[in-house]
């Protein structure tokens, strides 16, 4: 059997090398022949979103088996384009130096014999070790790869696990094949509609995915179903919990049983749980399981954490997201595609990295995504990593226990991760985060737990992480200012916002929006912008983007005059340097108002009461304005 396996291995390596020679692949090549980035890469990631999201948990699980042993895992599409990379720091650094990054093509034509490209070409799992790689740069590695197929059997990608040859075990390929099969099954589940076939799988998956502790017990107190979340909440394994009688787990079992058997509701009551360590308080709701004869057979218990501290802190800080997608203004085609992509990924648990110049609306998008998601009723906590002193970032994010340091509050203080539990945390200017905090953030993403400063307890948090930056994080990685592994963890779902100069057709829409909103906020009149001046605004480059445009409109509303010029070379509008026309030559709001009043008076045939109502002002105010503008009422039929 071993000889046959060895012969087959040599066969596919032989065939691959032959193809590489025929395609003229240079064995001294270091980088892939084809690497895409920017908009092309983002479009590719958008197209393969379903595969990326399906593969992510299995890549994490595969990596967890070999973490710390210098391995990295890669997901590619059917053409060999890398979609996702995860791995240990040292070997990831070497892979990064060889440009094995998202957007690089690993097909045989681009980089020779390797597990990803060869498994795609051969249509079967392969392991390529040392000199079996066609190019010399990969000779110190062994890579194990397997194709991923859709429900029809068509290859849609490949999964790979790569490490130094001396660390690779023969079973490594088996692990990759198992993970690839699991990804295929996950994709198949999404396509199957036969409820009978999937009912058990759906039930187990749904129960385990709900962010609440769920267990069922019969009327004798025997636990039957225990989801993973409730086991973690109480500090037991699922198997350990099934051996515990319900009355030993929490106080008040008889009360709950009596209420349910009386066919009354038991909802949102606090109970004390005997966890492994100590007593904990949870919020409990209970529901009967009724058979066909109407008899109660079991009781379903749903436990939720009591988050009064988080909710109170959130209420005090008022950190709920206020922006929604209907408040995002624009008709530019590329911009609208970005909006649609943001909507599609809103319910994903994966991290989102929002990139764009200052003033392009990164936090607005983050809030809109949160409000469009299934977390919309939960907190949205924003933190600017560049605005907080480095020595305070740790306590802000992770909180602290009482006595952790001089000046610590009595009773301790929850960090922003705890406050955001159940919702979203938005880390603006992530590129400014210190390296030691980057390490701790990576742990939160990987393990879903935080530990307060001075504390020993690992607190489970369910948070969606969104980050934003106006820096090129790939360049920051090369400079050593940003961790490679954290970059790839954050960059799962990248979102790039275009600058305002690239969406000029949106400028008039934004001007109207800000003119209306700011005038109401300041209780001032709107200013009409002449057409010739609007053309000038369309040609201006707006280096400060939407924020600069908003400030400019506020300046116009406050002064009620239109400046004759913007400084094209300035990064900001400087009010002291604005070239204003003399007052008598300025475009005046009063002229517009007078003409509008005359128009309404004509329409209402001089009826002052009706005219005032249509103008949205009081009748006495209208009389004062008629007098101010010397409007001759005699030309109207009545002026009552």
Is 363 contained in some domain? yes
Q: What is the DSSP string of 261-275?
A: HTT--EEEEEEEEE-
The mean pLDDT of 370-389, rounded to a whole number, is 87
| DSSP symbol at 254 | H
In a domain, 510, yes or no: yes
Q: What is the mean pLDDT of residues 278-290?
A: 81
Chain centroid offset of residue 639 CA: 60
Handedness of CA 211, 341, 51, 68 (dihedral sign): negative
* Average pLDDT of the segment spanning 549-569: 71
On whether both 358 and 455 belong to a single domain, the answer is yes
Statement to judge: residues 90 and 102 lie in one domain: yes
Tell me which of 377 and 86 has the higher pLDDT. 86
Phi, psi of 351, deg, nearest 5: -70, 150
| Range scoring the smallest mean pLDDT among 460-474, 498-512, 541-555, 621-635 | 621-635
Confidence band for 203, pLDDT divided at 50, 70 and 90: low
* Residue 640 within a domain: no
**Predicted pLDDT of residue 637:** 56
Gyration radius from the chain CA atoms: 32
Strand partners, 494: 353
Record the tokens describing residue 191, joined without a space. Answer: 């396509």
Concatenated DSSP letters of 193-209: --HHHHHHHHHHHHHHH
pLDDT of residue 13: 94
- How many residues appear in the chain? 640
Per-residue b/e over 448-457, b at no fewer than 16 CB within 10 Å?
eebbbbebee
Residue 5 has pLDDT above 70, yes or no: no
CATH code at position 371: 3.40.50.300
CATH code of residue 543: 1.10.8.60
Give the tokens for residue 53. 């999201």
* Other beta carbons less than 10 A from residue 312's beta carbon: 11
Rounded mean pLDDT, 5-23: 80
Residues 123 and 212 in one domain: no
Let me know whether 477 and 411 are in one domain: yes
Residue 316 confidence (pLDDT) above 70: no
- Are residue 91 and residue 79 in the same domain, yes or no? yes
DSSP label at 162? E
Quick check: 81 and 104 in contact, CB under 8 A?
yes
Identify which of 160-164, 199-203, 568-572 has the greatest average pLDDT. Answer: 160-164
Shortest CA distance to 471 belongs to which of 462, 463, 461, 481? 481
* Structural domain that includes position 218: 199-306
Q: Is the pLDDT of residue 488 over 50?
A: yes
- Alpha-carbon distance of 29 to 324, in angstroms, equals 49
Contacts of 410 (CB under 8 A, 6+ apart): 402
Sheet bearing 464-469, strands edge to edge: 380-384, 424-428, 464-469, 352-355, 493-496
Structure tokens at 257: 């049983």
CATH code of the domain in which 628 resides: 1.10.10.60
Specify the pTM.
Answer: 0.49
pLDDT over 90 for what percent of the chain?
Answer: 37
Out of 230-234, 334-338, 511-515, 629-633, least confident range = 629-633
Considering the chain, what percentage of its residues have pLDDT values greater than 70? 84
Residue 319 burial (CB count, 10 A): 20
How far, in Å, CA of 214 to CA of 284, rounded?
Answer: 10
Mean pLDDT of the chain, nearest integer: 83
d(CA 180, CA 139): 25
The predicted model gives 433-455 an average pLDDT of: 89
Question: Residues 316, 460: one domain?
Answer: yes
Does 146 reside within a domain? yes
Instruction: Express each pLDDT in 47-59 by its tens digit.
Output: 999 899 989 999 9
Cα diameter, the chain: 110
pLDDT for 129 beyond 80: yes
Residue 98 forms part of a structural domain: yes
pLDDT, mean of residues 287-302: 88
Same domain, 134 and 215: no
Provide the pLDDT confidence category of residue 194 given band limits of 50, 70 and 90.
very low
Check whether residue 533 and residue 446 sit in a common domain.
Answer: no
Residue 76 domain-assigned? yes
- What is the pLDDT averaged over residues 490-496? 91
Please check whether residue 104 lies inside any domain of the structure: yes
For 270-295, what is the mean pLDDT?
80
CATH number of the domain residue 81 falls in = 3.30.450.40
| In a shared domain, residues 487 and 505 | no
* Residues 471, 476: Cα–Cα separation, whole Å: 8
Q: What is the CB neighbour count within 10 angstroms for residue 82?
A: 26
3-class SS of residue 460: strand
pLDDT mean over 546-572: 69
The answer to whether residues 160 and 225 belong to one domain is no
CATH classification of the domain holding 228: 3.30.450.20
Of 191, 218, 235, the one marking the end of a domain is 191
Residue 372 clears pLDDT 70, i.e. is over it: yes
Which of 550, 570, 587 lies at the terminal end of a domain, its last residue?
A: 587
Q: Residue 363: its pLDDT value, please?
A: 92
- Stretch (H or E) spanning 38: helix 38-47
Per-position DSSP letters for 492-529, written without gaps between them: TEEEEPPPGGG-GGGHHHHHHHHHHHHHHHHT----PP
Q: Which of 470, 391, 395 is nearest to 434 (CA)?
A: 391
Is 424 in the same domain as 526?
Answer: no
pLDDT at 592: 61
User: Which domain-ending residue is among 472, 498, 524?
Assistant: 498
Domain count, the chain: 5
3-state secondary structure of 603: helix
CB atoms within 10 A of CB 206: 11
**What's the pLDDT at 575?**
37
pLDDT digits (tens, 9 = 90+) for 104-126: 999 999 999 999 999 999 999 99
Q: Are residues 362 and 509 in the same domain?
A: no
* Contact present, 497 and 355 (Cβ < 8 Å): yes
């Amino acid at each position: 059997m071993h000889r046959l396996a060895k012969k087959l291995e040599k066969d596919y390596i032989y065939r691959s090398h032959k193809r590489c020679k025929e395609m003229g692949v240079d064995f001294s090549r270091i980088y892939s022949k084809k690497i895409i980035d920017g908009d092309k890469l983002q479009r590719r990631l958008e197209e393969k979103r379903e595969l990326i999201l399906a593969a992510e948990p299995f890549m994490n699980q595969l990596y967890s088996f070999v973490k710390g042993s210098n391995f990295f895992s890669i997901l590619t599409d059917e053409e060999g384009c890398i979609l996702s990379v995860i791995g240990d720091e040292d070997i990831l650094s070497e892979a990064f130096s060889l440009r094995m990054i998202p957007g690089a093509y690993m097909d045989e034509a681009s980089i020779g014999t390797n597990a990803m490209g060869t498994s795609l070409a051969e249509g079967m799992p392969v392991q390529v070790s040392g000199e079996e790689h066609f190019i010399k740069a990969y000779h110190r590695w062994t890579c194990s790869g397997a194709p991923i197929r859709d429900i029809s059997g068509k290859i849609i990608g490949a999964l790979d696990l790569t490490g130094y040859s001396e660390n690779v075990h023969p079973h490594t390929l088996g692990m990759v094949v198992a993970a690839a099969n699991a990804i295929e099954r996950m994709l198949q589940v999404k396509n199957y509609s036969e409820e009978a076939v999937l009912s058990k799988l759906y039930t187990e998956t749904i129960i385990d995915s709900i962010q609440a502790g769920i267990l069922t017990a019969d009327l004798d107190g025997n636990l039957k179903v225990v989801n993973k979340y409730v086991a973690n909440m109480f500090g037991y394994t699922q198997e350990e919990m099934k051996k515990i009688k319900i009355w030993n787990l929490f106080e008040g079992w008889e009360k709950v049983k009596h209420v349910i058997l009386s066919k009354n509701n038991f909802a949102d009551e606090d109970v004390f749980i005997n966890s492994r360590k100590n007593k904990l308080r949870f919020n409990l709701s209970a529901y009967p399981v009724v058979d066909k004869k109407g008899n109660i057979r079991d009781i379903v218990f749903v436990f939720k954490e009591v988050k009064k501290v988080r909710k109170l802190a959130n209420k005090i800080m008022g950190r709920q997201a206020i922006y929604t997608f209907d408040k995002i203004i624009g008709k530019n085609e590329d911009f609208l595609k970005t909006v649609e992509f943001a909507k599609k990924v809103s319910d994903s648990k994966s991290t989102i990295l929002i990139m764009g110049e200052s003033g392009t609306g990164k936090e607005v998008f983050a809030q809109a995504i949160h409000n469009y998601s299934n977390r919309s009723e939960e907190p949205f906590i924003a933190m600017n990593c560049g605005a907080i002193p480095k020595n305070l970032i740790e306590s802000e994010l992770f909180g602290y226990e009482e006595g952790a340091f001089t000046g610590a509050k009595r009773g301790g203080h929850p960090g922003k991760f705890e406050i955001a539990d159940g919702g979203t945390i938005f880390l603006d200017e992530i590129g400014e985060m210190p390296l030691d905090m980057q390490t701790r953030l990576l742990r939160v993403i990987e393990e879903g737990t935080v530990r307060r400063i001075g504390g020993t307890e690992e607190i489970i948090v369910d948070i969606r992480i969104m980050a934003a930056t106006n820096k090129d994080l790939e360049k920051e990685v090369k400079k050593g200012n940003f961790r490679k592994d954290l970059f790839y963890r954050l960059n799962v779902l990248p979102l790039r916002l275009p600058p305002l100069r690239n969406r000029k057709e949106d400028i008039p829409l934004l001007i109207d929006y800000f003119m209306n909103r700011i005038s109401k906020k300041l209780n001032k009149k709107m200013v009409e912008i002449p057409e010739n001046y609007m053309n000038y605004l369309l040609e201006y480059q707006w280096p400060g983007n939407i924020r600069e445009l908003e400030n400019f409109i506020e300046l116009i509303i406050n002064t009620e005059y239109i400046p004759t010029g913007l400084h094209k070379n300035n990064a900001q509008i400087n009010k002291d340097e604005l070239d204003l026309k003399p007052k008598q030559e300025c475009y005046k709001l009063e002229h517009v108002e007078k003409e509008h009043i005359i128009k309404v008076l004509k329409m209402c045939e001089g009826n002052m009461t009706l005219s005032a109502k249509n103008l949205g002002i009081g009748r006495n105010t209208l009389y004062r304005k008629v007098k101010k503008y010397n409007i001759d009422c005699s030309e109207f039929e009545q002026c009552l």
